[in-house]
Amino acid sequence: MTEHPTSFDHSQTGTGPTDAHGALLHTSAPSGASALPQQSRAAGSEHSQSLSAEPGAHRPRPAPEGIPAQPDAATRAAEATATEAMAVEPTTTEATTAEAMTTETVTAEAEPAEGATPDAETGTDAGTPHGTDGGGTPGVASARTDAEAPRAAGAPGGQGRRSRRGLPPGGKERRTGRGLPPGRPTPMRRDGDRLRFVGAATRRIARGMDLDEIVMGLCRATVPTFSDAILVYLREPLPVGDERPTGPLMLRLRRTDRIPVERGADGVYVPPPVPEQPAELSAVSSELCEVRPGSALGEVLRGVRPVFTDTEASRTALAELLGKRSGLTLPDGRRTILAPLRGRRRVIGAALFLRRPERHAFEPDDLLVAAQLATHSALGIDKAVLYGREAYIADELQRTMLPETLPHPTGVRLASRYLPAAETARVGGDWYDAIPLPGSRVALVVGDVMGHSMTSAAIMGQLRTTAQTLAGLDLPPQEVLHHLDEQAQRLGTDRMATCLYAVYDPVNHRITVANAGHPPPVLLYLGGRAEVLQVPAGAPIGVGGVDFEAVELDAPAGATLFLYTDGLVESRLRDVWTGIEQLRERIQATAQLTGPDHPPPLEALCDEVLDMLGPGDRDDDIALLAARFDGIAPSDVVCWSLDPEDAAPGQARRLVRRTLERWDLPELTDSVELLVSEVVTNAVRYASRPVTLRLLRTDVLRCEVGDDVPQLPRMRQARVTDEEGRGLYLVNKMARRWGATRLSTGKVVWFEMNRS
């Protein structure tokens, strides 16, 4: 089958702005001897050709009226030869007939079923006969391709075709005899043009993934090819899936697009080369419209099918849509189409197509084009809303599984990054966490559950919650991983994950690390040297029956520890150990830029680490946790051990008084002495081993009292006659913060006081 070029294949004189994706098609009047033959008319469409003709039959085509020049004998002979050659190729006409029938089938899917009662709320179908415009006008009755047109004698290849599609001499249109303004799109005169336009427009609409892309695709596909302006109204709010909307039906103006009006000095229309992107119809004053039951607009939306606004009812509906104060001047005749946008279950909006008086009016067949555009757009909007809701749920699930903000523990600064594997699937099994522990310590956790599904995210959330609970018990890192392994086995047989658990002590400047099949951390020292820590790899969580080992390492002040998941160092282009070495080199090179005495800013350092990933070099989630160890200086920490006897509270008061005087904090002496005395008294009453007392001076003054009793104290309201039970009440009133944490050897009760 020979396929003739459309107007966007070759440049033509007098054609208007074209769609970059092939949506703009032109069919002009014939020129010279290569004129289009006269066509047979079918009811309701003066340009459609009957399908009753036999596929291979030859139909003679007399020259159109108004062209005095007649082809000579040689031209007629060559044309007859071309016609006979076409007669032996019935597949062309059969394919054309099949194409037309396919288009009518697609149109039937967009149209409501015959005999149904329409409803704008429920989306039921209208009772107007299929294939008509509501007034009995038949739809597209046939289709014809350019392959049926005979070629002019001596015209090589596409030369004859281009001459047929060009304007006649003088630039006047054949039917009306009027000249077309330069650059204006010519009307679609043949069913083949409409089919090609609908195909190109629906492809452009279908490319959109979200709501804005689909609506913009509808606007850009129709302006200026099908209309000079378009207004798209959508329901406010848009219903999602099967949910039934509550309240009145409200339509909000979502987007407009148009060819701006520009006129020269002589008043002649001067079109721009391309439409405005975007352009607002400033004359439309009402952006929100309420569709009342039984109103003219409600009836049009119930009818589902596009309508011309040349009747009294449709004009009333249009006035309700645009608003009473709208200054938009509508052209006379059939130059406006109002097309309801019907989704899967209900009407979700409306589209208004407008043409200016300088352009030909819409034809009855254009209603079917508008129906196709409205149907594809509405279904695309429905799917985009559903996809947006699913993406929102997945994103919220992932966000709630990760820490909203990082804590600010004493002696360490934290920064984190999380990147999903893809923007379209923002769920995964990677997580990170920072958990404050008793004694100003902090637990640093990073883990990775296999997979990128909602199931992986759910398992990740359960493991993260378990890790937080185990950290609250102040268990050693290897014991935490052991209990995580047991929890993963209880969740299922194939619940595999890797995890690295580290505990940093800012007082001792030490870090204890246990690993469960996770990539080893990287430690950056203050001088700019970076090294990969030698940590036993261990087996992944979920294997079961394995033992985990913890190692204790130095964590000097100014050093930075990087915990990460394998998505940062492993991809299809490199193995994990190559990626780890590249990460170490990148961290070291970045740190050396700031000099040996000044560590690089933590947030900027995290960004530099992520920049090592090139385009297409990531196919897994990435979780990154960086910890800058500031530590606590030995001069800011004092610790005592008190025997559990009655003299311990007095001894604690004297030690605290001398320490606060040495630290130049005399204003805190009275209050801190009182609170320390109350807490030590409670500890001594029940303890059987020595009680520990520790003071730490950072941005706040922190006091910690530890004993060997696991029961946590509870604050209660003492009665007037009670002689005790007021210690924690005073702590709660006077301290900045306070709390109690259970340890493996007992408990710690702590409180903090502001230094100023």
Q: What number is the average pLDDT over the span 640-649?
A: 93
How many beta carbons lie within 10 A of that of residue 2, not counting itself?
A: 11
Please say if the pLDDT value at position 185 is more than 60. no
Q: With contact defined as beta carbons under 8 Å apart, do 532 and 520 qualify?
A: yes
pLDDT digits 0-9 by tens, 317-337: 888 888 766 666 677 778 899
Q: Please report, in angstroms and rounded to a whole number, the separation of the first and last CA atoms in the chain.
A: 89
AA letter at 212: D
pLDDT beyond 80 at 467: yes
Q: For residue 642, count other CB atoms closer than 10 A to its CB.
A: 21
Segment 54-82 shows an average pLDDT of 46
What is the predicted pLDDT for the residue at 241? 67
The type of residue at 305 is R
Alpha-helical (H) ranges within 503-597 are 576-592
Handedness of CA 266, 267, 272, 276 (dihedral sign): positive
Burial zone of 608 (CB within 10 Å; 0-12 exposed, 13-18 middle, 19+ buried): middle
Give the whole-angstrom CA distance, residue 83 versus residue 72.
Answer: 16
Q: Which of 378, 381, 330, 380 is nearest to 356 (CA)?
A: 330
Which range scores top for mean pLDDT: 17-21, 141-145, 550-554, 729-733? 550-554
Whole-number pLDDT of residue 422: 63
- Residue range 262-287, pLDDT digits in tens: 544 444 444 444 444 333 444 454 57
CA distance readout (Å), 609 to 401, 467, 623: 24, 27, 12
Q: What are the start-end ranges of the H helices in 440-495?
A: 454-472, 477-491
Counts of helices then strands in the chain (DSSP H, E): 15, 21
pLDDT (0 to 100) of residue 390: 81
Nearest Cα residue to 739 out of 750, 729, 731: 750
| Secondary structure of residue 206 in the 3-state scheme | helix
Spatial separation of the C-alpha atoms in residues 212 and 218, rounded to whole Å:
10
- Tens of pLDDT, residues 378-416: 999 988 888 888 878 877 877 788 888 899 888 899 999
d(CA 229, CA 281): 8
Predicted confidence (pLDDT) at residue 462 exceeds the cutoff of 80: yes
What pLDDT sits at residue 474? Answer: 83
Specify the higher pLDDT residue, 173 or 349: 349
What average pLDDT does this structure show over 640-659?
Answer: 93
- Which of 42, 186, 57 lies closest to 100, judged by CA? 42
The letter for the amino acid at 352 is L
Q: What is the pLDDT of residue 86?
A: 43
Helix (H, G, I), strand (E, B) or coil at 532: strand
Amino acid at 593: L
Q: How far is CA 441 from CA 479, 505, 510, in A?
A: 17, 5, 10
The better pLDDT of the pair 142, 289 is held by 289
Q: What pLDDT, on the 0 to 100 scale, is given for residue 327?
A: 60
Handedness of CA 121, 124, 126, 131 (dihedral sign): positive
| Six token digits for residue 525 | 């020292």
Phi-psi sector, 720: left (phi>0), alpha (psi -120 to 50), beta: alpha
